[in-house]
Structure 1
Amino acid sequence: TGAVPDDRTLVVERFRDEVGDWRVCLHTPFGGRVHAPLALALEAHLREHLGVDARALWTDDGIALHLPEVESPPALEMLILDPEEVQALVSTQLPASALFAARFRENAARSLLLPKRRPGQRTPLWQQRMRSAGLLQVAGQYPDFPILAETWREVMSDHFDMPALASLLRSIRSREIRVVAVDTERASPFASSILFSYVAEFMYEGDQPLAERRAQALTLDRDLLAELLGSEDLRELLDPEAIAAVELELQGLLPERFPRDADEAHDLLARLGDLSDAEARARGIGEDWLRALEKDRRAVAIRLAGEARWIAAEDAGRYREALGASLPVGLPDVFLEAGDAPLESLLRRYARTHVPFVTADPARRWVVAAHALEEALNRLAARGEVLAGEFRKAAEGREYCHPDVLRTLRRRSLAALRREVESVAPDALARFLPAWHGVGVRAGGVDRLMEVVFQLQALALPASVIERDVVASRVSGYTPRLLDELVSMGEVVWVGRGSLATSDGRVALYLRGEAPRLVPPPSNPPQTDIHVRIREHLGARGASFFRDVYNACGGGDEDVMLDALWDLVWSGEVTNDTFAPLRLLGPLARRPARKPRLPRLTQPRAAGRWSLVADLLGSGANATERLHAEAGVLLQRHGVLTRDAVIGEGWPGGFASLYPVLRAMEESGRIRRGYFVEGLGGSQFALPGAVDRLRSLRDAGRAQGAPLEKTGGIVALAATDPANAYGTVLPWPESDGRMSRAAGAYCVLDEGRLVLFLERGGRSLLTNGEVQLAHLQALIEIATNAGRVELQKVDGAPAMDSPLKSALREAGFTQTHRSLVAYGARG
């Protein structure tokens, strides 16, 4: 598979079996107590979102999933579950599992509920299973059956390690644990051992149809289970302000959501149910609209609880049958149909449009006997259509809440709690970014490079540093061949983003599938005759070698033709199927001092096949799709996105253009908004998991298991590296020189504090605070990748007279007659 699972790496292997069905194996070392509930949760999650009957088996070494009748395996994101929802998914799937049935049979036998025919005579196992299955089917009708509750407690507490599973999912979400996806032709040795267990598990399974077996899923008394498991009281979690805000939304009391015409007024009546005249006015429903709806037989005025109420005409039958409301004559028969269980139907809608309530609330509103409502609510709770429990601090007794409403309240309350948590100091962000980017990780290969490109998408970096200083710091054992392989295969696309003098330029990398939504339109495309001819040739013929471009465009001066081609590259119109031409840019590549041995047409910067960027983008994307993709890329890159981070990248449109999308993502619960880092403004957005990881660095020098641990918190970066927070989000420290995010400049951080800054060209070194030998060694390691470093000044004074001279020599510098020199691998 190219990767080995460990405590920091989870491997997802996907392949087709001998009959053509997809198999997905998750290789982890966390053991069966974690794998078992995760497998059940994945079954429920995949069935709900993909509509497939996924079957899972777990061992101590991983999980095997069988996905019949699907064209392609699920995306990696589909397998990464939300830690806040995994408990509910497990509870949904557990009753239909063999584990639950087996534990129930054992508990029933210990309780003497499976009597033997004769004392002392052994009962065959198959008979025990049959009797247990029958008892289980009957017991499922009684949610508080003690053996049932004990089985739930035993499985959830003794057999499953739910806290460890939630911790694992949070670590994956915060990128402390990597997830590597691998597609293979056949099962790897790791997967083969899991599949052997899969075959053994299902070889002797009964012939009962899956649908009938799943129909025996039990009704769970969640109150009793919560008592057995010691679950936390939601009264301590749900924020009163969040409850009040959600109540206003559900009841349509926000002015911005008032109906705009009679049609929308009818929709609101149908959504909320009965409203008095005063309640209708409070929701922006004018009396003229109500009269017009009444005239059109779309609304009905009834007497309920001693006052006039308005209802949608289609609800008339339910109100008459359930609440005894008297209806006006002349209504069509279709509106008089009450349907099945009209009282339950009205209560279901009441729950969907209210925050948690007690039975007395609808009883007072409708003047109905409380015991009748209690029975109907218990039936809804037994089916999981409403939840029963204790939700509000001020309430007394048993409350009810719709599941969707409770999810909204929990999400809003968690967001409020996060806003109240103390923000971190800026140096924590400087520690966080290198870890978030995976600087110094041990992982390598094409898969790791794809992860890096995904995070660096659309970021314009100097071509001279993008591989040497940025990619190489994130991919262990990186070689240029890896990027060339991805570009030539069409997995990665590079696009020019502007020239830097004559020997360099800015380049952005894109995943091929994301490029149509992220590549910006060309900037200032040149329009001279030679540029037009090149553009027309590539548009007509497609990808072409430079020799073909040269001949088709009239020949002439080869340097002029090649320079014109590169003008189109830097304007973002032309790209290449290899990264090699960018690697070899430079004064010597452009203007050799002596005549080359090879013909001019074969010089390195003309290598590969050239094509129009527009040919790779297709029809592109609309403005909304583009903004959504841009916001996603920036969040993936920064983890915690601020206004200064967007400005620092020079993003077209700036932060203002992205703000509506970020706000919508926050409102949908996909990202978080808060004051996470001190001094960076109030408009801060973060991915789930990024905030927790950021705050874990508040008091510690590094996160446990983070890539920086092997260097004791010391990390060397190119000044232009997006993992360097200084110069964009954070200000440069005061110094005797000028620090900037220039290509060829480097900095060394220690626990987020900038200690060293080597100016472009390597001739001047600036320090900030105490400098240790390890700092200098880290600087030499990264700076000499570009060649020799000749240091002439330290903090503005001659290097030969610096107090750091001896430490510099000990770190690896060699003294000459006027400077200190460090040599890299290339001398």
Structure 2
Amino acid sequence: QYRSLTLAQYTAVVKMLADGYHTRRGRRSAYLHRDVVNGILRPRKAARLTAIMNGGAIPDQFDYDVILQPESLFIGTLNEDFAFDSIPGDIFQLGNTSYRMLKIDQGKVFVEDAHGQPPNIPFWFGEAPGRSHELSVAVSDLNATMDRLLDCDETAARQFICNELTLPPAAAEQLYHYLATAKAALTALPTFGNIIFERFFDETGDFHFVVHSVYGSRVNKAWGLALRKRFCRRFNFELQAAADDNTIVLSLGPTSFPLREPADYLKSGSAEAVLVQALLAAPMFPTRWRWVANTALAVPRNRAGKKVPAYFQRNDAEDLVAVIFPEQLACFENLPGDREIPDHPLVEQTLSDCLHELMDLDGLKQLLRGIEDGTVTIVTRDLASPSPLSQEIITAKAYAFLDDAPAEERRTLAIQQRRFDSIQEAAEIGQLNPDAIVRVRLEAWPETRDHDELHDALVILGFMTEQEGLAAPLPGNTPYPSASDKLALLQDDRRATVMTLPHGQRLWVAAERLHELQMLFPNAHLQPAIDAIPADNPPPEILLREIIRSRMEGLGPTTATQLGEPLGLAPSSVNQALSTLEQQGIVIQGHFTPGAMTIEWCERGLLARIHRYTLKQLRNEIEPVSPADFMRFLFRWHGLHDPVSGETGLAQVLDQLEGFNLPAACWEAGILAKRIKPYFASDLDQLCTSGRFVWLRLKKTGENSPRSAGKATPIALVSRSHMDYWHQLPPLPDLAQTTLSGNALKVLAVLKQWGASFFQEIIRETGLLKTQLEETLGELVANGLITSDSFQGLRTLVLPQKILHRRSKRHPSYDPMAAAGRWSLLRPSQRDVADNYGHVESVACTLLLRYGVVFRKVLDREEGIPSWRELLYVYRRLEARGDVRGGRFVQGFASEQFASPEALRLLKDTRKQEKTAVLTVLSTADPLNLTGIVTSGDRVASSSSQRLVYRDGVPVAYGSRSDIHYLQAFDADHQWQLRSALLVK
């Protein structure tokens, strides 16, 4: 607004409009006659028309108009880049219709209807507004609250997310896990008063520096650009940077610095000058310059009633820069320092738009003042891999880039991202593996198998102490010469000597490095006295720096005290040399060894290798296990060696076995009794009677199926809340196609009329005898039509009559059918059959609970479940939500594999456990009989009368009391051991 301009600014604008610009094509864009003497302004002849045709502050994005043929109807626009990259014949989607390109003209794309052919999706480039300050404050408050709650009470943190944010439970749990793992990795969550600096290596050994700041993208872009400029000037190389609403990332090359140091690179008083110089080289300046030039009518958008082509406008804008701001286009090699900013209205307006619209300079200054006065604290974290909060900026696209490097050349592509299955796993990424540190130290120290290799080691390391030389391990069992013999050979050849320092330390020194040490210690004694190789005579501090650099190449993480001790130097002298090496990007300081209390230093390449080995160790923990280890995992997953107890434990087991068809007689003796100790049938009856679980036949009946329920009748136990899901898979039998007896039809009629009924009620209504009704109920159970409240009903139907007769003689009042509770019809599913995803997801979760790790082959014994294609779609969605993890967990199986976080932890632990020839005995009807499916060999048929023995996850024998088959060759002692295991109940 002109009323907000000072008199000097107003005068400059008037002068600009009156004088115009002297370009290579002559004077242009002069729209006023200025009478300086009388103070009068008059418009030039073209001023009115130019203002009418080109006025307005909305920037031109150079979109192409889309014209539908043959109607010549304007239907929309396409981004210039998309139109430029397209050719006639391409099909794209606009709205809900696909179109085929006929011709691409200047500023226009002529198209025709493609009649539904598969299209490409167009893209648009543009600027989106950053997050508002108010929303950033809300994000900061959320993080601060969660940070406090996660320190105190995890349950309260979960309740806060559910109640205050009104999120559904699944979304609330996902947000909780995201913030909890972030806090575990970073030790805090970023807020307005808490900025977090994070640093990690990528796969190529380069550093990435991440600033976690919730001040919004406008402040973060300003801070990121200014930091990038400071890094460029400090280390003298260009680097890539990106910023979004929550983070800033700077991808660094071979450099190092104290992680807290970048907080002091910018000061509130000088931030504006640094930022101005930084944005002049950023892609934002040319674009904003053209927009300002359009608005100021310096570069017209329309001329002679026609739109000026995009490339003309860009050329005109560049010519205008050359006139007003020539240093902006100058060669960098010819610029001695900062660009000098001209005092011109267009330049001032462009800088103002960049600093206060696209970025927030005032917000950056306030942040920097907070860092200076201590109200904003800095938390630093060196990590082995990116934290959960860093993954947002690592995967950011072009909208976040602060430099002009294209997406395919970003250094962040070399970052290996990790998924954190637990909070504990996230907390461990800040810790280097001690085994990795030991391994790198051993690898860095040179091997000295002969005197030539000892000489090389002395040249590389600068020197060895006598203790180091004598303690060097000999590789393998080969009889290599001793260290003293190798040194003696070098002394005889006058290639090395023993230097005794004034404080008594004896050093082994090669002739090539002797000059440096003699310059530092001129009074040292040599034995023998040899001539040093001639070299330059640099200052002592440079000599010490070179010696320290050489020592760092073979030591790994060490302290300044440890480095200075062999030379008798104070830590302050060593620290000065290390600081110089750090500025050169050779060494890095930090706390690397677990438990280290003092600052350690490590050569950059060695530290990168330690990080790689640490990550490799973490990845090895999820390497695919062998089929035998997977079986050992399944035995632990089902608690076969550590049974649960009580009704609660039984409910957990039933959830795990839900929907699996087993012979009726096998459920209690062969399955549940192996997983629950002690097992009580009354617990199962109670769970069924309470309505939590229901037994039924899920498997479809066939022509050869027995007419009555027996010991081999396939029965499944299902949670009553999941009944609708399981009924959608094998639907209830069609009565029209079922050949039922007359008595069965009578019982069905009674149950339809009166609903769930007790045994005596059914007798009264049907007039059947007790034995007739028992047979009829068995027939209906075998056809999958009825169930009872208690498992006792099925137990009575499958028990042999002689056992029931024996119990009735012993207890005359005993009536097992009375304990069965009510008998009821199984109702069809009430859920919408069209809603297929719900029941497939329920079954997929059950299978994950049953096996821990799910893949196609492991489901071979499952009956009546959705197809693998349907399950795969669900598991992929669960993986995208972070509920399960996809990968390769079991060797030898080609299909995709998915595992729950709990199963992965147990799988890792199982692989680490030593094999101790543990025998696992289970029924061949057990779901874990995966012989020939997971393990090699032929399948063992499912039977309630046979048992199977595994040894360390490998099947070794199966059979019954009278018939045992051995799957491997064993001696008599081992056969007796396996036979005993099979016979013991």
Relative to the length of structure 2, the TM-score reads 0.41
Relative to the length of structure 1, the TM-score reads 0.48
